[in-house]
Structures are given as structure tokens and as C-alpha cells.
Amino acid sequence: MVDSRRRTATAAIHTRQAATSARPLSSPIFQSTAFAAASADDLARVAGEVATPDFYTRHGNPNHVELAEAVATLERAEAGLVLGSGMGALTTTLLALVSSGQHIVAQRSMYGGSLSVVQKLLPRFGVTYTLVDQAEAGAWAEAITPATRVFLIESPSNPRLEISDLGAIAEVARARDIVTVADNTFATPINQRPVEAGIDLVWHSATKYLAGHSDASAGVVVGRAELIETIWNTSLNVGAVLGPIDAWLVTRGIRTLDLRVGRHNATALAIAEHLRAHPTVEAVYYPGLPGHASHAVAARQMSGFGGVLSIELPGDREETARSIERLELFQLSASLGSVESLVVHPASMWGAVLTDQQMSAAGVAPGLVRLACGLEDAADLIADLDRALHAHRPRGGGQ
């Protein structure tokens, strides 16, 4: 019973918290910025614990812990940390691992936001970089300098779906005490687990497949416990905090991840096989196709090839943009990994963060189109693509 002698303003704040012996099937949302301690000693103790769930939400939250443990379990990693977005996870990780005067090796073909961090942000703090062909394990070794501290990997890569040999790159890095950081957003831990190939840290834009419903923004990084602690200490200063509700939504999405990814895989493969014979499509980039340059590597390290593929159309940026604007089921949106199918034109979207020269080096041609297959019927999506591409010039058709 609440003390009836308390005045209204006090009673309104100090209500009795709900207590229950029920065991909900869905976890509660801990929508609290701070948590009370039983004593000053307890408060001092939890303040220094990594990702503690009972001190302050910038340090950690019960919903954070549940999500981090779920992803770490799926990725076969020791520990995990969640942040407010995928870019928050990547930027915080790199700021934690490198200092002025040190060096990063990254691949040429990767998400534009990741390249922007490497090429624009980190050099402001005295960090240098070298970009390499991700498919050549030897290129990674040749790029190492005495100052190299990190290999930044993305496989399959965005947007051309190129493949890195994770095991070979990890072996090169391990021999030189270099930390490997891999983006596993496209593959998900259902299709690929880089930790099992020897990669030290794996990060995700959990906004994509892990959440899966276009309703939550989140990032997560998992890996060796001592590295996660280092990143957590940096995260306290960066402050890319994940809201408890978004953490809860991503955890909810993970419950159906295996089912959803299986459907994404099957639909993307069906579309890739259809489009490689399409008269207006010059190239199809999908690691599940036997003709893909790194199909053998992908087949060895992946159990499925993901829900994203890219195609290259003849013509310039403007003609390509007009063609994808005719799509009805594929919605023009910058994301991927959700229940609905999405399409983007990288040359248009990434022009804001990369120069034409940088886009060319990353393999982003004017006619490149990225398709993120949702959970609709594959036949309907194929019909949508056929309708939209009907008016596009055929390959080899000239002006």
C-alpha cells in the first residue's frame, strides 16, 4: 500500500511498480533511461560493468542485453553490443580500434556509407587507408603496412554482390595481429557466420534483415569479448544509443529471421535466373548464380545467397532512373531486408556521399540497379520487372 500521507505531487511520481509472477512470452519493454540501485556501492559497481542492464540506458538496458545476446548466439560470437544504427555500430567500432597514425585496409566495393567513414571521416583524425580488390586475398597482404590495425570487409558487398574469402583474409590478418571487421548485413547469420571463418568482429545494420519490418533503426556488433568491451567504452562517448523499443522490435524480428531469409533467398535466386536471360539486362550480379565470378567461394562459405541482387542496364543514369520508376511492387527506397521488395539506383543515391570517381572505383555504373527482394510471390515480382523493363532499350541496341 502506498503511503496515503504523501501529497499529490509526490504520490504521482512514487507509485508502486507493477509486480507479477507471470511469465510473458514476449519480453517487456524497459522504457527507462535510468535504473535505481539498492546502495551506493551497488551503483558504483554497475557503473563500470560492460553493457550493464541496470544503471543507465546509454551504458545498457535489459532490452539491449537481450538483443545483443541473441545476435551473438546466432553469429557464434562471445559477446555483443547494440547501437542506434548500423552506421553507429561501424563508426563506433572503428573509432575504438584505430588512432592517429594508424592504417586501415578496406575493400573498394562496399556500402557507400562505410566508404565515406573510411575515406572522409577517419582521415580527419590522422587515420590512413588503402582500398583493395576484395576477391584477391593476396591484395590484402600486399596492402599491409607497419601501421595497419584493421581489415574492413563486406561480403556479399553492396551493391555488386562481390564475395570476400573470409577464411583466407582472416588468416592473413591473424598472422599480423590485425583485427578483422566484417559487415554481415546482406548475408545474415542464417546464410553466413564470419566468426566461424576466423573473423574477429561482425557488425550488422540490424535495421535490415534482423528487424525485417521497416519499423526499427538499430546496429549491432559481435565478436571477442575483450574487443566488445573496448568498443563499449568508446560507445559511452559516441552516444549512439539504441532506444529500448527499437531493441525490442529487432528482437521480435529475429524470432522469424530463419523463415524470412529462406524466402528471401529463394525469391532472389528465381529473379536472378530470370533476368540473366532478359533482353534488356546486360549483367546480373548474384553469388547464387554459377556464372558469378566468386560463386565457388560463396558456395563454400554460405548456406544461402541472400535476398539482394543487382543488375546492370544499358543506357545512362536518367534512362535507368525512368525505368525503375515504372516498377509497382518494387518500391523506390534506400533500405533492404524487409517484407516488401525495394529498388534503388546507386548512382543516384550515393552521389550525395561519393564522387563520380569513387563510385566508378566501387563498381557503381550509371545503369546499375539494386533489387532487394521481399516476401511477395516471386512470379508477381518477375512480372513487375518485365513490365517496367519493357520500354528500356535492349542490350546492344545503341541510342
Q: Enumerate the active-site residues.
A: 58, 111, 183, 208
- The rounded Cα 351 to chain-centroid distance in angstroms is 20
Pick the closest to residue 272 from 252, 298, 247, 242 (CA basis): 298
> Which of 216, 205, 169 minimizes the C-alpha distance to 93?
205
Examine residue 156 and say whether the peptide bond preceding it is cis (omega within 30 degrees of 0). Answer: yes
Cα gap 97→335, rounded to integer Å? 28
What are the angstrom distances between the C-alpha of 314 and each of 278, 365, 386? 12, 10, 15
Q: In whole angstroms, how far apart are CA 224 and each of 150, 154, 181?
A: 15, 19, 11
CB atoms within 10 A of CB 375: 16
Instruction: List the 308-312 sheet strands across, edge first.
Output: 283-285, 308-312, 368-372, 342-344, 331-332
Cα 229 to chain centroid distance, Å, stands at 20
- DSSP symbols for 227-248: HHHHHHHHHHHH--PPPHHHHH
Coil, helix or strand for 6? coil
Q: Which three cell numbers stand for residue 289?
A: 548464380
SS3 state of residue 308: strand
Tally Cβ neighbours within 10 Å of residue 351: 15
User: Which strand ranges, in their side-by-side order, compose the sheet holding 79-83?
Assistant: 79-83, 219-223, 201-205, 179-183, 148-154, 103-107, 128-132
Contacts of residue 56, Cβ cutoff 8 Å, sequence gap at least 6: 33, 34, 35, 47
Q: What φ, ψ does residue 183 adopt, rounded to 5°?
A: -85, 115
Place of cell 539486362: 281
CA gap 144, 121 in Å, rounded:
21
